[in-house]
A = this chain, B = another copy of it.
Amino acid sequence: MQITILGNGSGGPFQGRHYSAQVLELGGQIFIIDCGEGTQMQLYHHRVRIDHCRQIFISHLHGDHVFGLMGLLTNWCLKQRTTPLDIYAPSGLQELVEHSSRLCGVRYPYPINFIEVDASRHELIFQNKQLEVWSIPLNHRMPTSGWLFREKPRARNILKTAIETYDIPFTLIPGIKAGADLHLPDGRIVPNAELTKDPPAPRTYAYCSDTAPSNAVLDAVRGVDLLYHEATFSKAHSHEASVSFHSTAEQAATVARIAGVGRLLLGHFSGRYQDTDTLLEEARAIFPQTYISVEGERVAV
């Protein structure tokens, strides 16, 4: 599981930062998370291939998270995309896309399936063989949902030595990887624990932007490996954070600490900060495993 940060800014195109957008990759699958203006340029610039993307998750309809979506969807038209696309978002997105498409003469050669997400609930909204995606109710000025990506447990790893020792036939391997014991021709039973080892622990990634600090967020992201949390402001601007339903770096770090996450990645920085040193310092004082998101950077979860 890997994420690529395409934009870590908020508000305006200041300090060379771009608007919110990320790509999550897992086993060849591509998921796009938010789509601020310029997302397609950032994808091109950082050479991120998204042609296989089948799911897009939009947190909310503020422009810095969604004004790049029409460009992306239109671009796929030019590429003659035929693969169906699912877009998960709070209420209003379908109307926005369909209305804009009609007025701007965009006709899609691929089906788009809009799934309206209840931004007030933490619930399973998508799953396939490898992954579950859960909504996270964020606390913002309009209905806004974060996203929790939870890898499903993988099959146990069968030991090469066991295959050799017991000459295990190919047909039995899927069962053993799923946990079965091995019944030998002479009647002996080899317990699964001697044949396999634990798979890597399922990885979890939570994306929380934009939000004021919230217990609902805290509960939803408990124990995730990597938490991306907005840190729009430093504590010197905590009033601005409060009135705009955003978080300070300290508040993001407090969520990370109490929720016991593995690592915290900060983003959605206000354009007023030329660098993010202060934000990082303030957060690390509370949660040392804090990092600043860097545009173009691939982060393994």
Contact = CB atoms under 8 A, between A and B. Distances in A.
Contacts of A105: 61-62, 141-142
A104 to B, nearest CB: 5
A12 interface: yes
B141 A61 contact: no
Nearest to A66: B104
Contacts of A14: 44
Contacts of A40: 12-13, 37
Interface in A86-133: 92, 95-96, 99-100, 103-106
Q: What class of interface size applies to chain A in its complex with B?
A: 35 or more
Interface in A49-88: 61-63, 66-68, 70-71, 74-75, 78-79
Nearest to A41: B13
A101 to B, nearest CB: 9
A278 to B, nearest CB: 21
A75 B44 CA distance: 24
B63 A74 contact: yes
Contacts of A263: none
A63 B67 contact: no
A220 to B, nearest CB: 24
Interface string A13-25: 1101010000000
A49 to B, nearest CB: 14
Interface of A: 11-14, 16, 18, 37-38, 40-41, 43-45, 61-63, 66-68, 70-71, 74-75, 78-79, 92, 95-96, 99-100, 103-106, 141-142
